[in-house]
Amino acid sequence: MILTPLRLLSAAALAVVLHVAPTRAAAQSCEAPGPAPELGQRLADIAMREYQRVDGHRIDAHGRLWKFGSVETETEPLRAAEGDDAPSAQRYAWRRIWHYWQVLDQHRPGTADHRDLKWAPALLDDPASAPRSRVDTVGAVLAAVPSGSPMSEAMRESVVRAAISDSPWSGAFISFVMHEAGLSDQAFHFSGAHAVYIAGAMRESPGYAFRACDIRRTAPRVGDLICYSRGKPVLDRFADWQERLPAIDGRTKSHCDVVVSVDRKTLKIESIGGNVMQSVTRRQLMINESGLLSRRHYVGAPRNRPRPGSPCAEDATCEKSDLNQQHWSVLLQLR
């Protein structure tokens, strides 16, 4: 059902969709969507497998980092997760993340080669006189690496590892999850920028797998994407996204996690996202009795007093004591 094209809208109707808020019927479908489709569990399973494969971080419901896992440039081989049939060459965190870019490249050719690589001439030998850093692309630098040298492979790998640090890859992670689940280019707008596929849902693209919902009014289900704004201007509420929709593009900074579990008894959900503190990170979040994301997770909400020993316990200006407090504003709900 997900991949079946919807009835095409007329040009006039499409113009209305692009510039007005969702109709009452659309709002009701967000707030009363029924059970999560089978695709939701498949997305959750894929995201969980990647978290286990990379052996990433974990954040508890109070926003505290309680497990520090592997990071994006790790050079030590990762442990094989239970049932993991990935080639041993992919059991390096940096190589696994490069694989996300290569998969995205299948949908957006040239994406991998155009990753940023930042460097400053003379920075190693004479940092005092080094000019501002410059940006090249991975493809251009790899093409300049001399071949035939015993160290050429080391140079190529170093270039790719550096590019992984220089290019945010959280959107590539989500695109990889969607690819593995079998979504087509019509069902999902594959991109390295979350805002591109968020806008696809907000514009109600025909055949799209997700609808855009107000996260403050919509309970997350397994497989849904929960998203926050992280740029300027901050899109703090769903209405802000609606208002700026015509201007939203790949430069609109945002982030999304895949919801992998919902426990209404304990009032908690878990989600997994890429490039969260340079890893594939699993976080726990609180929900209220209605299943909505707890207000404590929104920026500006009152926080519990830090426990003794917390890095922020003696710093009243610290704004990072709760890693779960973000500008949560959009929920992408599976149709």
**pLDDT, tens only, 37-51:** 999 999 999 999 999
C-alpha–C-alpha distance, residues 114 and 138, integer Å: 6
For residue 48, which phi and psi values (nearest 5 degrees)?
Answer: -65, -40
- Do residues 177 and 47 touch, judged by C-beta distance below 8 A? yes
For the chain, the average pLDDT equals: 85
C-alpha triplet 135, 141, 146: angle, nearest 5°: 150
Strand (E) or helix (H) holding 101: helix 93-107
Specify the pLDDT at position 312.
56
DSSP state of 8: P
Instruction: Look at residue 17 and tell me whether its pLDDT is greater than 50.
Output: no
Specify the pLDDT at position 22.
45
C-alpha–C-alpha distance, residues 25 and 45, integer Å: 31
The two counts, helices (H) then strands (E), for the chain are: 9, 10
What DSSP assignment string belongs to 213-251?
Answer: EETTT----TT-EEEEE-SSS---SHHHHHHTGGG-STT
- Residue 179 confidence class, pLDDT cut points 50, 70, 90: very high
Instruction: Look at residue 262 and tell me whether its pLDDT is greater than 70.
Output: yes
Instruction: Look at residue 4 and tell me whether its pLDDT is greater than 60.
Output: no
- Residue 186 confidence class, pLDDT cut points 50, 70, 90: very high
Instruction: Look at residue 14 and tell me whether its pLDDT is greater than 50.
Output: no
Q: Side by side, which strands form the sheet with 327-334?
A: 65-67, 58-59, 281-286, 268-273, 254-263, 225-229, 327-334, 210-214
Crossing angle, helix 170-180 and helix 38-54, to 10 degrees? 130
C-alpha–C-alpha distance, residues 289 and 267, integer Å: 7
Specify the pLDDT at position 112.
95
| Segment 78-105, tens digit of pLDDT | 776 666 665 555 578 999 999 999 999 9
The residues facing 268 across adjacent strands are 263, 286
Which range among 49-58, 84-93, 112-121, 185-194 shows the weakest confidence by mean pLDDT?
84-93
C-alpha–C-alpha distance, residues 175 and 189, integer Å: 8
Give residue for tokens 């001399």. Answer: 146
Q: Report the percentage of the chain scoring pLDDT > 70.
A: 82
- Residue 323 confidence class, pLDDT cut points 50, 70, 90: very high
Instruction: Look at residue 282 and tell me whether its pLDDT is greater than 50.
Output: yes
Rg of the Cα atoms in the chain: 21
C-alpha–C-alpha distance, residues 137 and 47, integer Å: 28
- Do residues 150 and 135 touch, judged by C-beta distance below 8 A? no
